[in-house]
Structures are given as C-alpha cells and as structure tokens.
Chain A
Amino acid sequence: MIRINCPYCGERDHSEFSYGGDATINYPSLESSEKEWTEAIFFRKNIRGFQLETWHHSNGCRMWLEVERSTVTHEIKSVRPCHPDLQKVVENNK
C-alpha cells in the first residue's frame, strides 16, 4: 500500500485516492496548432523515476493533490494541493 500524506486529512492509504496522471502537462492556447494540442493530450514523458502527478482524495476531502512520487520505488517526496492559492494557504498554516 502506498501511503499519501494528504495536507488536509493526514497520512492515508492510496486506496482512498483516485489517480489523476501527469501533473506537468501545459495545455496550449486555443489558437495553437493541432500538432501542439496532439502533443499535450496524447504524448507523455512516461518518466522512470520521480515524477509530478495528480491524485484526487476521492474518498476523503475530495481535494486534488500534486504528488512527487517515484515510478520505480513508489517513494513519495512531497504532497501539496494542486491549486497554487491553496498551496500558499497550507504553507502559511504550517
């Protein structure tokens, strides 16, 4: 079991969460070319090692989290809210 330290709920089993995916995708502007959109929607780095990814605490606080996790050892380096403003709130309350 992977244990994810949710900033709102504390450390919980990963089975409480839903996996989102790559957290580093930057969607291009609406005017961008099909090539750029294809790259954003369909193409992935698929990192072997530490990557930034999103998890949804779907059976908990229902917040979206950004998790830095190794895809080889499953070790987690950091967990924080996805939303930048919420990140600030969590940081300030530490």
Chain B
Amino acid sequence: MTRFNAWNVIKNGLNGQSGWSRQWRDPEPKSNYDVIIIGGGLHGLATAFYLAKNHNIKNIAVLEKGWIGGGNAGRNTTIVRSNYMMPGNHEFYEHSLQLWENLSHELNYNVMFSQRAHVSLFHSPGARDSAARRYNIMRLHGTDAELWDLKTLKKKIPHLNYDDSRFPILGAAVQRRAGNARHDAVAWGYARAADSLGVDILQNCEVTGITRKNGSIESIQTSRGTIKGKKVGFAVAGNTSVLWQMAELGNLPIESHKLQAFVTESIKPLLNQVVVYGVGGAHFYISQSDKGSMVFGGDLDWYKSYAQRGNLPIVQDSAEAAMAILPCLGRIRLLRHWAGVMDMSMDGSFFICKTPISNLYLNAGWNYGGFKASPASGWYFADLIANENPHNYVHNHNLERFEKGINIDERGAGPDPKLHG
C-alpha cells in the first residue's frame, strides 16, 4: 500500500498517477481465523482495525454481504457530536469525538472531519432549562458545551427564520467541537488501514448459517464457503435480529426501523454549522456538505421495517421543517433521498457485550447514533473481544440491563423503540 504524503502526491503527479497501489486487497477466505467480524460497515471495519492495532491480533476477517460502506455507512447524515449525559454514554461518545479529531492521521486517510459546531435550537424557556441542564452535565465531564443567546445566534447564523411566532427561536445549545465527516472516506480509511495490518476484508460474503457446538460457535457458513473462527463478533446493526436468530438465540431488545435522509442540489456556501430544530415532536437536522448540497434528515418512518427505502409522509414532514427554519431553501430541489435500517433499542442506547454463547460478542442497537460512534465502537468492541472484560464505559451496555432496571434512556421515552429518535 502506498502511503499518502506530500512526497508521494508530487511524485505521482509527475509520473501520471501510475505509482499508487490498490487501497485494500481482495483476498480469498481462509478456513480459519482468530477473530471473525460479521459486518463490513464502519463499526466492523473499525473493530478489525483496533483489534490489529491495539491488541496485536492479526488473523482477522471482516465478512460483508455486499460491499463495504454500502449499508448504513452510506445512509446517514454524517453528524459527529458528543452531547450525551447518561453515565457510560457521555464518556463513550466523548472518547469517540477525541478519536475523530485525530482519525485522518491515525488512518493516513483524509476523512474530512470538519468541526463546524452543532447548534441545537431551543424555542421555549423550558427547552432552554433542559438544554442548560444537559450542557452543564457535559461541561462537568470535561466536554465543551455552551449556550448561545439570540444575539450571538443571529450573528453566527443570520438567515434562520427568527420571525416564527409559533416557535420563536430563543437561542441554541452549542457544541463547537462537533461537526461532520465524509462517510465514504471513513469506511475506505478504516478498510485500508485494517488491510495494511493484515485484516482480510471479504466482500460479497453473506452469512447463510451459523453452526454451534458445545455452547460455542464452531463455524460460519457463507456464500464464499465455510469459515471457522475462534471468536466471532456481530456488527450488523439493522439486521442484528436476523443473525441473532440464525444463531438460535431468540429475541432481542431491538426493533428495526428505517430512517430517511435527504440531499439537495449544490448551492453556494449557506450554512457553516450543523443545525438541529426540534419542536412539537418534530425533529430535523441540516448541514451543508463540502460539495454544497444541503444534507438533512428527520424522524423515523414510525413503523417497523427492513426496507431500505423511505416513505413520502416523512419527506413532507422534513420539507416542512426545512421551510420552517430555513425559508430561503424554498426553491431548492431535492436530488435524492434514502433510508437506512436502524437497530432501535428499547432504551435508545447501544450494546457492546458478551452473549449467551461463549465465543460470540455483540455490537448492536445504535439507534440514531451509529455514525459518530464508529471509532469508539470499534475501540471498545475490540477491547471486549481481546480482553473478555467490558471496559467501564460499556459495562452496563449489555442485554441484562433491562432485567436489572438500569436502562440507559437519554430521552426517558420508555420501552418503545420508535420513540428513541
């Protein structure tokens, strides 16, 4: 693999770009691996990378049924933030943000991480109090957080709709270190970095069966043959229940729901922050990509679904929210919209944990938060697989927390997966 650096860029600029090697290999599956990670999304690839880098395990395979980065890695709104307040969550997401800050150097791949600030508007004194509480908790834990009054907000983002008498903007809760990254680059960067440490990335390799023997997983049947692994990790958010039942493990505290996102035609620079607007149950977030497109998303489609396509009522809801907050977008045209399948968990928090099978580990339940979590998800899932002992940050992110009554419910929405958006 040719490293990206100034010298190589100049050299290849002079020799017609002929000196670059391919980014990652396309190996044939071996019959045995130390660790098999099922799922070649951001979390699976990051897990393989940190297993190799932090824990010196080299004989690793990542199994992907399609192509890497073709699932939810390419179906999100690329927002990175760490404004969480529940114990476990805030440490975890803050560490993730810190990993993002150095990710391009770590991977030798420009993931285009842009810390442009995450601006969450509030529209009532009650919402301001609630934002102040959350952001004070963040500051007490060493995360950056601030409240902007209306004067500051108007100066920073002058073209928001400040004349809405139904939902007047009073100010915003802001995390300056939050922002966006380029989703494909994250998948490719992790794949390239993992591959260079010896990880086999097996694409078009769909798991078709799981063979258990004496309480552990003996082998995995795939569309590219049978593969044995000493340890197996699931990182297939969206389809976790399907694999879980393939391993005959029964039910999970997860429902699959779909979440849509939208992208418009490119326009000149308009919005230099991630803006979040949430009133009356609506939920809307928007930013502008480096290509100039407005990228935005809203609520779930509300009904359980494995279909990777969205439904029209949510298109209308999101467009209405866009018009409510940024009326200047009225004549912009939508280029595409898509839906990703989310693991919506019963308390809105994720799972990085052991399972009833001794050599099987679970990474699932990412709700709305999968993209930003990718680096820390890989980091702590790799740590669990290598050391068998969950780190303090994730030791309650297991399947037993519901029975123990220690749900990690940021929203306080209760055991209904569709409400944890």
Say yes or no: A72-B302 contact (C-beta < 8 A), given A21-B416, A46-B251, A46-B256. no
Interface centre among A13, A18, A42 (most CB of B within 10 A): A42
Q: B402 near A38 (CB under 8 angstroms)?
A: yes
A residues in contact with B239, CB < 8 Å: 48
Taken together as a complex, chains A and B put the C-alpha atoms of A74 and B311 apart, in Å, by: 11
Whether A34 is near chain B, meaning CB under 8 Å from some CB there, is: yes
Q: B241 near A14 (CB under 8 angstroms)?
A: no
Q: A43 near B251 (CB under 8 angstroms)?
A: yes
Q: A1 near B253 (CB under 8 angstroms)?
A: no
Whether A78 is near chain B, meaning CB under 8 Å from some CB there, is: no
Whether A39 is near chain B, meaning CB under 8 Å from some CB there, is: yes
A residues in contact with B312, CB < 8 Å: 1
The residue on A at minimum CB distance from B346 is A42
Taken together as a complex, chains A and B put the C-alpha atoms of A14 and B301 apart, in Å, by: 11
Binary flags per residue of B304-341, CB closer than 8 Å to A gives 1, else 0: 11110001110000000000000000000000000000
A residues in contact with B241, CB < 8 Å: 44-48
Query: How many residue pairs at the A-B interface have CB separations less than 8 Å?
Result: 73
B residues in contact with A72, CB < 8 Å: 305-307
Q: A39 near B311 (CB under 8 angstroms)?
A: no
Binary flags per residue of A1-30, CB closer than 8 Å to B gives 1, else 0: 110000000000111001101000000000
Tell me if B's interface is mostly helix, strand, loop or mixed: mixed
Whether A35 is near chain B, meaning CB under 8 Å from some CB there, is: yes
B-facing residues in A58-82 (Cβ within 8 Å) = 71-74
Say yes or no: A1-B304 contact (C-beta < 8 A), given A38-B403, A41-B415. no
Q: B311 near A43 (CB under 8 angstroms)?
A: no
A residues in contact with B413, CB < 8 Å: none
Q: A19 near B242 (CB under 8 angstroms)?
A: no
Binary flags per residue of B394-421, CB closer than 8 Å to A gives 1, else 0: 0000000011000000000001111000
Binary flags per residue of B212-241, CB closer than 8 Å to A gives 1, else 0: 000000000000000000000000000101
Q: B402 near A71 (CB under 8 angstroms)?
A: no
Taking the nearest CB of chain A, how far is it from the CB of B81, in angstroms? Answer: 27
Taking the nearest CB of chain B, how far is it from the CB of A22, in angstroms? Answer: 8
Q: When the two chains form the complex, which single residue of B255, B302, B305 contacts A74, counting CB atoms closer than 8 Å? A: B305
Q: A48 near B415 (CB under 8 angstroms)?
A: no
Taken together as a complex, chains A and B put the C-alpha atoms of A45 and B250 apart, in Å, by: 7
Q: B251 near A19 (CB under 8 angstroms)?
A: no
Whether B252 is near chain A, meaning CB under 8 Å from some CB there, is: yes
Taking the nearest CB of chain B, how far is it from the CB of A18, in angstroms? Answer: 8
Q: B251 near A45 (CB under 8 angstroms)?
A: yes
Whether B7 is near chain A, meaning CB under 8 Å from some CB there, is: no
Q: A71 near B415 (CB under 8 angstroms)?
A: no
Taken together as a complex, chains A and B put the C-alpha atoms of A83 and B417 apart, in Å, by: 24
Q: A1 near B313 (CB under 8 angstroms)?
A: yes
Binary flags per residue of B236-262, CB closer than 8 Å to A gives 1, else 0: 000101100100001111111000000
Q: A19 near B252 (CB under 8 angstroms)?
A: no
A residues in contact with B415, CB < 8 Å: 41-42
Taking the nearest CB of chain B, how far is it from the CB of A46, in angstroms? Answer: 4
Binary flags per residue of B131-154, CB closer than 8 Å to A gives 1, else 0: 000000000000000000000000
A residues in contact with B252, CB < 8 Å: 43-44, 46
Q: Which 3 pairs of residues, A with B, have the shortest CB-CB distance?
A: A46-B241, A43-B251, A42-B402
Of the A-B pairs whose beta carbons lie under 8 Å apart in the complex, a sample of 25, sorted by A's number, is A1-B312, A2-B303, A15-B313, A19-B302, A19-B303, A19-B304, A21-B416, A35-B403, A41-B402, A41-B415, A42-B415, A44-B417, A45-B241, A46-B252, A46-B254, A46-B256, A48-B306, A51-B304, A71-B305, A71-B306, A71-B307, A72-B305, A72-B306, A72-B307, A73-B307
Chain B residues proximal to chain A, CB less than 8 Å: 239, 241-242, 245, 250-256, 302-307, 311-313, 346, 402-403, 415-418
Chain A residues proximal to chain B, CB less than 8 Å: 1-2, 13-15, 18-19, 21, 34-35, 38-39, 41-48, 51, 53, 71-74
- 7 additional A-B residue pairs with CB within 8 Å, beyond A13-B313, A19-B303, A74-B307: A38-B402, A38-B403, A42-B415, A45-B241, A46-B241, A53-B304, A71-B307
